[in-house]
Amino acid sequence: KFQQIIPNNANTTATPLPRSSHGLSIIQNGSLLVLYGGENIARTPIQDPTQVLWLAKKTMGQDCWQWIVPTTTTTGTGSSSTPPSRVAHAQAAVGNSIYIFGGRNGIEMGENAMNDMWMLQIDENEERT
């Protein structure tokens, strides 16, 4: 039986752009959705850093989801390291980590596929990546 999930945006004024060719994973025992990448315009990866990554948290004991705008922590060098924008990538979840591989990052049909892998560690706080 399908059930539509419609996260509310009570704690933020923004919501994710409509998209396709994105990745969606669920972690933390089914209580956190991780939405990454994709396109809002055909073959054009979403470039806006406030739109590339979204989280949706399930309210304990309810079938209610809420969008969370994540904050990104810096690496040990003091810089934030994020993968290039992409569409049509592979995405998998293991524990509290999301793995992203490949995809495409341009609008030309003949461009080569990407061949990089990234890991996104989700903090137990759910709002920090």
pLDDT tens for residues 52-62? 999 999 887 77
- What does the DSSP assignment read for 32-88? EEEEE--EEETTEE---HHHHEEEEEEPTTSS-EEEE--B----TTSS---PPP-BS
pTM summary value? 0.85
In the structure, what pLDDT confidence band is assigned to residue 75 with cuts at 50, 70 and 90?
Answer: low
